[in-house]
Amino acid sequence: MNKLYVFDMDGTLVDSMPIWKEEGIVTLKEAGVSNYLEVIENFNHMTAFEVAGFVAAHHESPESGAKIIAAWRAKMLTRYLTDIPLKSGVKEYLEKLYKNGDRIVLASGTPKRLSTQVLTRLGIRSYFSELYDEEVLNLPKKDPQFFAQIAKLEGYKPSDVTLLDDAIYAIKAAKEVGYHTIGVYDVISDCYKQELSEVAERYIMSFKELI
């Protein structure tokens, strides 16, 4: 039986996390968020829902946390449509899975409307049968039910599903429901490299290792 492969996008398929950080600093400073550095230090291990809540709870701007996150995402959309690159070996690995007949889906904290555009620009949208995000499933990626729902909707047993992700919280959540897991190196989460390599069944520095 063919398998289901679930991919994260930011920090896994595309080299976007440094740009999220760069644009986040600009956005938060423009919005008058005095503790913007604290937000930036925490965002790489928080879900999109948590980042919005954190900003809403801690900023001193009259703008809501949701508006600030929307402005941040708007800046990112421009970058997604212009200069955010694929990570090395990604397209070749997706092609390998596709030719094998495996099913490929996306599971991202980034809204589907944004991920659709970046994957299309980079020429890999056609490999993905479905794009899931926290808004589509109405669950944060830290919740194991996020991944349980994907397996159920796709008609696969969790034991026939593999997640590839750069975030420890996602790997842990997926493992809890029975997924196989592959941790992916990203420069922004370099400090969690050792922990991620211990939690995931396999850890890769580059997709070239899987081709």
pLDDT digits (tens, 9 = 90+) for 170-202: 999 999 999 999 999 998 888 889 999 999 999
> For 28, left (φ over 0), alpha (ψ -120 to 50), or beta?
alpha
Q: For the stretch 169-198, what's the b/e string if a residue is b when 16 or more beta carbons lie within 10 angstroms of its beta carbon?
A: bbbbbbbebebbbbbbbbebbeebbeebee
Instruction: Out of 57, 80, 103, pick the residue that ends a domain.
Output: 80
Both 64 and 102 in a single domain? Answer: no
The answer to whether the Cα torsion of 166, 169, 174, 176 is positive or negative is: positive
Both 74 and 101 in a single domain? Answer: no
* Structure tokens given for 202: 């396999």
For residue 124, what is the domain's CATH number? 3.40.50.1000
- Measured CA to CA, the distance from residue 136 to residue 149 in angstroms comes to 11
Helices (H), 59-143: 65-80, 90-100, 112-121, 134-137
* Structure tokens given for 26: 């600009």
Both 57 and 95 in a single domain? Answer: no
Instruction: Out of 80, 111, 135, pick the residue that ends a domain.
Output: 80
- Measured CA to CA, the distance from residue 4 to residue 83 in angstroms comes to 29
Q: For residue 90, give the amino acid letter.
A: V
Both 40 and 90 in a single domain? Answer: no
Both 58 and 110 in a single domain? Answer: no
- Among 18-22, 62-66, 184-188, 204-208, name the one with the lowest average pLDDT: 62-66
* Structure tokens given for 56: 């809403």
Helices (H) and strands (E) in the chain, counts: 10, 6
**Backbone Cα Rg of the chain:** 17
Task: Name the one residue in this structure whose structure tokens are 């026939």.
Answer: 160
Both 32 and 11 in a single domain? Answer: no
- Measured CA to CA, the distance from residue 166 to residue 17 in angstroms comes to 10
* Structure tokens given for 27: 């956005």
Task: Name the one residue in this structure whose structure tokens are 């954190």.
Answer: 54
Range of the domain at 71: 17-80
Both 127 and 139 in a single domain? Answer: yes
Model confidence pLDDT, tens digit, residues 135-160: 899 998 999 999 999 999 999 999 99
Instruction: Out of 80, 97, 115, pick the residue that ends a domain.
Output: 80
Both 28 and 71 in a single domain? Answer: yes
Both 186 and 196 in a single domain? Answer: yes
Model confidence pLDDT, tens digit, residues 93-133: 999 999 999 999 999 988 898 899 999 999 999 999 999 99
Structural domain tally of the chain? Answer: 2
Both 10 and 93 in a single domain? Answer: yes
